[in-house]
Amino acid sequence: MRPERKTGTAHFSFQEVPVEEKARRVAAIFESIADRYDLMDDVTSFGIHRLWRRSAVKVSGVRRGQRVLDLAGGTGDFTARLAPIVRGEGQVVLADINDAMLLRGRARLMNRGVVRNVEYVQADAEYLPFPDDYFDCVTIGFGLRNMTDPEAALACTYRVLKPAGRVVTLEFSHPTLWGFRRLYDLYSFSVLPLLGLLITGDGDTYRYLVESIRAYADEERLKEMMEHAGFERCEYFNLTFGIVAVHLGYKER
């Protein structure tokens, strides 16, 4: 049965806004930056995001012949890494709610020759159009905090996973070293919006992205959310002093 859509309010940066308003605002943000999203990823993380994604793919344990959902896959960074692993016998579905990001991802992957075993689906993570027990693995890269109802999305992810399947999330978190945290805050709130303004002409969008990271759940809270959705053997791994964390959980039955 399709769950009822959440009503009330949701976090948008440091604000509480109506659920429908968050969905609209997030959509507008990613439509505005889709064409330069990858460039900004490289510039703002100094390229380290590539190592973060590589670590998440390694944790996923994806193997040849498996079916994988790259949820909130955006411009296809995870898909580009997963498709060669599952090979022709497997499949990667790149799904995103935002058509601009999905189109950008498709064009990018086709330019790189990643075409044989990839499918593209525009879908809301809270209402995935896939059968129960369908995927071996679901990856979510930097997408949970932008969803209207992350817990509903995790529950839906649980539904579409096969028994013994796993979810792997890569999400910004909260640095664990106090001195480093102060330096990171200075960079995030002062430098990153300026870079966004210079490169994309839109500093406000990157100010939102920083605020959304700070307002989002820390590692333990996200682990609890996964457990509440039904996942078992949940664990996480901090990367780069806790700037990001990789979470792993299994659907045992």
CA nearest to 12, candidates 154, 143, 208, 144: 208
pLDDT value for 2 = 46
Paired strand residues for 244: 172, 239
- Higher-confidence position of 99 and 209: 99
Q: Given this model, what pLDDT does residue 119 score?
A: 96
- Spell out the domain ranges in the chain: 9-62+117-175+209-250
DSSP code at position 235: E
Whether residue 87 has pLDDT greater than 60: yes
Q: How far is the first Cα of the chain from the last one, in angstroms, to the nearest whole number? A: 19
Gap between the Cα atoms of 92 and 117, Å rounded: 6
Q: Does the pLDDT value for residue 214 go beyond 70?
A: yes
Q: What does residue 33 show for φ and ψ, rounded to 5 degrees?
A: -115, 5
Sequence length of the chain is 253
| Local structure of 174: helix, strand or coil | coil
151-182 per-residue burial string, b: 16 or more CB within 10 A, e: under 16: bbbbbbbbbbbeeebbbbbbbbbbbeeeeeee
CATH number of 9-62+117-175+209-250: 3.40.50.150
Confidence of residue 43 (pLDDT cuts 50, 70, 90): confident
Q: Are 168 and 59 in contact (CB under 8 A)?
A: yes
Round the average pLDDT of the chain to a whole number and report it. Answer: 88
175 confidence band (pLDDT: 50, 70, 90): confident
* CA separation for the pair 182, 188 (Å, rounded): 10
**Model pLDDT, residue 40:** 76
What is the number of other CB atoms lying within 10 angstroms of the CB of residue 102?
22
For the ranges 64-68, 139-143, 214-218, the lowest mean pLDDT is seen at: 214-218
Amino acid making up residue 72: A
Task: Write the pLDDT tens digit of every residue in 183-211.
Answer: 888 888 888 888 888 877 777 777 887 88
Residues facing 138 on adjacent strands: 69, 167
Say what the pLDDT of residue 1 is: 42
DSSP class of residue 248? Answer: E
Return d(Cα 191, Cα 184) in angstroms, integer.
10
Structure tokens at 120: 């593209």
Q: Which helix (H) or strand (E) holds 54?
A: helix 49-60
pLDDT in tens, 9-35: 656 555 566 667 777 777 787 777 777
- pLDDT value for 16: 65
What is the pLDDT averaged over residues 137-150? 92
